Copies of this chain bind each other. A is one copy, B any other.
Amino acid sequence: MAKQDSVPHRQRRERRRRSDGERSRGAILDEAARLATVEGISGLSMSRLADAVGMSKSGLFAHFGSKEELQLATIETANGVFETEVLEPAEGATGGLDRLRRLTDSYLRYLEVENFPGGCFFASVLAEVDMQPGAVRDRLVAFLYDWLGRLEAAVGDAQREGDIDPGEDAGQLVFEIEAALFLANAQFVVARAPEPIERARRAIEQRIDAALTGTAPAAIRKRRAPSPDRAG
């Protein structure tokens, strides 16, 4: 009995230790991601972060071997937030056009709910390190191209599916959509008012509407109603 019990007990203890460590690491990285949008990811020193999370600098070093390791782990934490808040809501989309609208809607909501105090983590931090070559910049640029690639793939699918005019330059359309999202973030951080987010929503809605094929009535083109009696 004693032996049989001791194994699960040790496992439980190890599981708890691992889980405490993960929780603690997670809490540090959540704080690091928030701080990075306020003070910058370059200013994310071990001592500054240790102060913010109430840990010793040596305790932080047990989690992250170097400042760059901390910065890269912080980016992955922010990426997890972006996946949950922006990418996942678009996963159930019925097609390219629906996916494009869901991605832009969820991005604007991700700004509105202020996941990070300094606005979109990626916009904030890439603007900071865009002139500083290295692994941190490379990771952020890869994130950016992945995001733009998702928007462009959604436009491409919508063109193949007959919803967006095949004559539209997908790269140009994505540039204009991303421009509205990017400025919404910057102006929201400065003004803390809903206006730029509303302006971006209107700009994107009208720009997408203008890119639609003319085969269905506007209301249906706008929100492809599944009801068959409204299909064009």
Point out residues on A near B: beta carbons under 8 Å: 37-40, 42-43, 117-119, 123-124, 126-128, 130-132, 141, 144, 171-172, 175-176, 178-180, 182-183, 186-187, 189-190, 196, 199-200, 202-203
CA distance A86 to B37 in the complex (A): 30
CB atoms of B117 and A190 under 8 A apart:
no
The complex is assembled from copies of this chain, and their number is 2
CB atoms of B117 and A172 under 8 A apart:
no
**The 6 residue pairs across chains A and B that have the minimum distance between CB atoms:** A179-B179, A127-B127, A179-B183, A175-B199, A38-B131, A118-B131
A104 to chain B, nearest CB (A): 13
CA distance A200 to B183 in the complex (A): 13
Q: List 7 A-B contacts (CB under 8 A).
A: A38-B131, A117-B131, A141-B190, A171-B199, A175-B183, A182-B183, A183-B183
CA distance A190 to B133 in the complex (A): 11
A146 to chain B, nearest CB (A): 14
CB atoms of A127 and B171 under 8 A apart:
no
A61 to chain B, nearest CB (A): 24
Please name all residues of chain B whose beta carbon is closer than 8 Å to the beta carbon of A126 when the two chains form the complex: 186, 190
CA distance A40 to B128 in the complex (A): 7
Please name all residues of chain B whose beta carbon is closer than 8 Å to the beta carbon of A183 when the two chains form the complex: 175, 178-179, 182-183
CB atoms of A130 and B182 under 8 A apart:
no
CB atoms of B118 and A190 under 8 A apart:
no
CA distance A41 to B72 in the complex (A): 23
Please name all residues of chain B whose beta carbon is closer than 8 Å to the beta carbon of A189 when the two chains form the complex: 130-131
Contact of A176 among B43, B128, B180 (CB under 8 A): B180
A170 to chain B, nearest CB (A): 12
Please name all residues of chain B whose beta carbon is closer than 8 Å to the beta carbon of A38 when the two chains form the complex: 131-132
Question: Of all chain B residues, which has the CB nearest A187?
Answer: B175
A183 to chain B, nearest CB (A): 4
CB atoms of A203 and B190 under 8 A apart:
no
Please name all residues of chain B whose beta carbon is closer than 8 Å to the beta carbon of A186 when the two chains form the complex: 126-127, 130, 182
A117 to chain B, nearest CB (A): 7
Please name all residues of chain B whose beta carbon is closer than 8 Å to the beta carbon of A176 when the two chains form the complex: 179-180, 199, 203
CB atoms of B131 and A37 under 8 A apart:
yes
